[in-house]
Amino acid sequence: MTTETIKVKGYEFKIFNRKLSSHRRAVQIQNDIQQNLRKVGVQEDDIEIELQKLVIRTAAASIEWWQDGYRLFYTYNQAGSFISNLHIISKLIEAEVTAVLNKEKGMDEFLRGFSEDKDIKKQRKDARILLDVPEDCTDLSIINRKYKILAMKHHPDRPQGDHEIFKKINNAHKILKRELE
């Protein structure tokens, strides 16, 4: 029997077993996240994880926390159900914290990896509109294809190219690539 996995930020994680889905299990995952973040000095009061009532519904999971003057944020929406997405976030946080504790990664790199603007959700929505992909598109190959078409059309070296539009297209692609890799 093969186990499906998901690759996120260079790590590979097993997909959550939906048979284990329950609100109580979501609370356990939330507690695991808080426990891992405490290992790098984050206070529980500085962590926000909004739990869904129906954990098996298709929905993104996200976490927001404050550390060393940074607002840190991560959302995941590619594993299907809310609890599966929350599980991936938990495993990612655990892997990143372990890398910091084992001195494989510095705290600055950890903070940069999760640092996002307050309006990142709006930026992602605007990026999808600019690249002309559906609002719920998480397929990076589709986003890359649309990006290449628009980038070629608006490249400053082309007769109809526009440097400002080209910069916006590149930025939109960067925002979505960071979200989905």
Measured CA distances, 83 to 10, 12, 16, 73, 176 (Å): 21, 17, 8, 18, 22
Enumerate the domain spans of the chain. 5-114, 120-180
Using the predicted structure, report yes or no on whether residue 150 has a pLDDT greater than 80: yes
Residue 151 is predicted with a pLDDT of: 93
> How do residues 11-26 score in pLDDT, each as one tens digit?
889 888 777 788 899 9
Q: Write out the E strands in the chain.
A: 5-8, 11-14, 47-48, 61-67, 70-76
Q: What are phi and psi of 81, to 5 degrees?
A: -75, 160
Residue range 120-180 forms a domain whose CATH class is mainly alpha
Residue 2 is predicted with a pLDDT of: 47
Q: What is the mean pLDDT of residues 146-165?
A: 92
Full-model pTM? 0.74
What is the C-alpha to C-alpha distance for residues 27 and 73, in angstroms, rounded to an integer? 19
Q: What is the mean pLDDT of residues 46-69?
A: 91
Q: What is the mean pLDDT of residues 5-9?
A: 85
